[in-house]
Amino acid sequence: MELPEELKYLIWKSYYNCFIITLIKNHKIIWLNPSNKLLSITKDPGCIQHNHNDMHKILFYNNNWSELANETYNQCFKNLCINCVNKGFPCNDAVCYGTINSKLNNHWNLSFYENKIEDYNENDEIDISAGFI
């Protein structure tokens, strides 16, 4: 005799909540100490999609909340700073103030945004929420 669909769903949901969610929450962030393989396969333009990766979790890992981390998030992850475009993402400021691993420093080339920043000065931000990093 087969179990009713509702009962199957309740069993699955209970298992998921007890075991799978715990595994996800306790999973180490891959960007804390990225491997050379991870860095090499994400080097091409468009490999890191803006606002659809967990790299920003580094800024607030282990309740590492600070005003500088929040500013770094707003400047370089939520928007796009001029330094990230000119020197690479994440820029020196994001690595320094956001406590990001130095292996990631200037790893992604964002020079394709240069034509969008001609009229901006160094302190301006560009919203790229629909774009890709």
Stated pTM of the model: 0.63
Cα–Cα dist 106/95, whole Å: 9
**What's the token pair of residue 23?**
């595994």
pLDDT at position 76:
85
3-class secondary structure for 13-74?
A: HHHHHHHHHHHHHHCCCCCCCCCHHHHHHCCCCCCCCCCCCCHHHHHHHHHCCCHHHHHHHH
Q: Which residues contact 109 (CB under 8 A, 6 or more apart)?
A: 45, 88
Residue 133 has pLDDT above 60, yes or no: no
For residue range 31-71, list pLDDT tens digits in order: 889 999 999 988 887 677 666 677 888 888 877 778 888 88
Please give the C-alpha separations between residue 12 and each of 19, 20, 22, 52, 131, in angstroms, as whole numbers: 11, 10, 15, 27, 37
Count the neighbouring beta carbons within 10 Å of the beta carbon of residue 52: 8
For residue range 79-123, list pLDDT tens digits in order: 878 888 888 888 888 888 888 889 999 888 877 777 665 555 545
Closest alpha carbon to 65 in 97, 109, 31: 97
For residue range 9-36, list pLDDT tens digits in order: 999 999 999 999 888 877 888 888 999 9
